[in-house]
Amino acid sequence: MEMPKIVEELKPFFEPKAVAIIGATNKKGKVGNVIFENFKRNKEQGIFKGNIYPVNPKLDEIEGYKVYKSVKELPDDTDLAVISIPAPFVPATMKDIAEKGIKAVIIITGGFGELGEEGKRLEREIYEIAKANGIRVIGPNCVGVYVPDTGVDTVFLPEEKMDRPKSGPIAFVSQSGAFAAAMLDWAALAGIGIGKMVSYGNKIDVDDADLMDYFIYDDQIKVVTFYIEGVKDGRKFIEAAKRITKVKPVIALKSGRTEYGAKAASSHTGSLAGADVIYDAVFKQTGIIRAEDFEHMFDVAKAFAKCKLPKGDRIGIITDGGGAGVMASDAVAKFGLKMAQLSEETLKFLKENFPPHAVAGNPTDVVGDTDAQRYKIAIEGFVNDPNVDAILVIVLFQVPLLNEMEIIEILSEYAKKSEKPIVAVAMGGKKTEYYAKLLEEKGVPVYPTPERGVRALAGLVQYAKYLKKIEGE
């Protein structure tokens, strides 16, 4: 596969040989200090393999690191600059960066276009320098980049206040820095693996479309999630989205669902077209899955990260509690999926192997006195049934005869060997949460309610349908 230019251009942001931290300082809590500490820590732990060059005209060294007085003095292997100096000084620094030949710049500093005309003017100046010198810019007004595998971490929220998630197959792109930071912290707690995070703030240069094109060729990334406030170049976004959704799923959370333009429109159609319906249209046409909220976004992302794609929309439900099964069935209808009609063979197989009081059907209820082996029979039946496209297994770990580790093994084994996606639902408290985490670590996505489990499956089905549709062309 021939790599497009964008892959080369963005590579230094994610795996730099040497990073210049412009505005690095030894004052604790300052942005330039937190970013320096992040790189230093990751270097000490052997995660960040590149060189670290703090830049600050007033200092000679920070914690044993030589400080460079200016960009001009930087060693020639510098291929990424992270800027956290005040906005008015950024254009001059950009000129030095251009002269030095550094081609990737993250501008963390705020106080640009979001504040008004003067800020916008500064942005234009920076953009023009970048454009003329082939420099790619992330930001300004952002938290930048987080890559757990290479140790790039420009998130200026200190580690003691914000946990960092482990690595994984999910890319997370956020316009908002605050949301990005909060989500990383939450993902760390939820055990969700983030392979790459980019927060681009005012995005004067690198935008969603560039990142989508990059992630096409990033083998680590299996699913891309976006938090979007607004798109600047709509056509570029559409084209890039169409390219990436051919090979990887994309989930977007779009905020700002308010209507605009309704008053100004002179046609009926114009009065009905708010920003939101247009985004809906764009997402539908490009195969992007639209998330209702951040839970939805990561629920679906988790399913993509761990599951195979279903062949159709017929859902099979296995449960050890009747009520949870009914809730799941309701959710199947709510999210436009179908309840699978089990084949005669499957029903026969289940009845033959079940005690008389367990219910063979869809949902199949293994009931409250179940052990792990009864679950295994049910899963075996569903996996082999050609009428079932995806399987939701509700495990109430609380039932007395169920060996938790045994059911976890069974689920993870079937999730691995079956061609069908299998997701689990575990409702409960602290103990359930403990086992749910173990199950997830074994490769099965687990959801806290039947509705969220089914909604995640609906995301898989939606994307599988989109792929089928474009393959038909």
Partner 1 sequence: MKDEALKVINDVLSKGRKALVEYEAKQVLKAYELPVPDEKLAKTLDEALEYAKELGYPVVLKLMSPQILHKSDAKIIALNIKNEEELKKKWEEIHENAKKYRPDAEILGVLVAPMLKPGREVIIGVTEDPQFGHAIMFGLGGIFVEILKDVTFRIIPIEEKDAWAMIKSIKGYPILAGARGEPPADMKALVDMMLKVSKLVDDLKDYIKEMDLNPVFVYNEGEGAVVVDARIILK
For partner 1, the binding residues (CB under 8 A) are 230-235, 237-238, 265-270, 272-273, 275, 277-278, 280-282, 284-285, 469, 472-473
Least distance from partner 1 to the Cβ atom of residue 221, Å: 25
Least distance from partner 1 to the Cβ atom of residue 193, Å: 32
Least distance from partner 1 to the Cβ atom of residue 286, Å: 9
Least distance from partner 1 to the Cβ atom of residue 201, Å: 18
Element (H, E) at 65: strand 65-66
Which position has the token pair 């390219």? 243
Overall size of the chain counted in residues: 473
Q: To 10 degrees, the CA torsion angle through 107, 108, 109, 110?
A: 110
- Report residue 135 as tokens: 């420099």
- Judged by beta carbon, residue 116 or residue 230, the one nearer partner 1 is 230
- Judged by beta carbon, residue 38 or residue 202, the one nearer partner 1 is 202
Least distance from partner 1 to the Cβ atom of residue 268, Å: 5
**φ, ψ (nearest 5 deg) of residue 416:** -75, -45
Cα separation of 423 and 370, whole Å? 19
- Judged by beta carbon, residue 134 or residue 256, the one nearer partner 1 is 256
- Judged by beta carbon, residue 4 or residue 270, the one nearer partner 1 is 270
- Judged by beta carbon, residue 45 or residue 267, the one nearer partner 1 is 267
Cα separation of 43 and 45, whole Å? 5
Least distance from partner 1 to the Cβ atom of residue 141, Å: 20
Distance from the Cα of residue 286 to its chain's centroid: 18
- Report residue 300 as tokens: 């679906």
> Strand 144-147 and strand 194-199: pairing?
antiparallel
Least distance from partner 1 to the Cβ atom of residue 119, Å: 21
> Strand 152-153 and strand 144-147: pairing?
antiparallel
Longest dimension (CA), the chain: 81
- Judged by beta carbon, residue 2 or residue 471, the one nearer partner 1 is 471
CA angle 427–162–431, rounded 5-degree value: 20
- Judged by beta carbon, residue 234 or residue 322, the one nearer partner 1 is 234
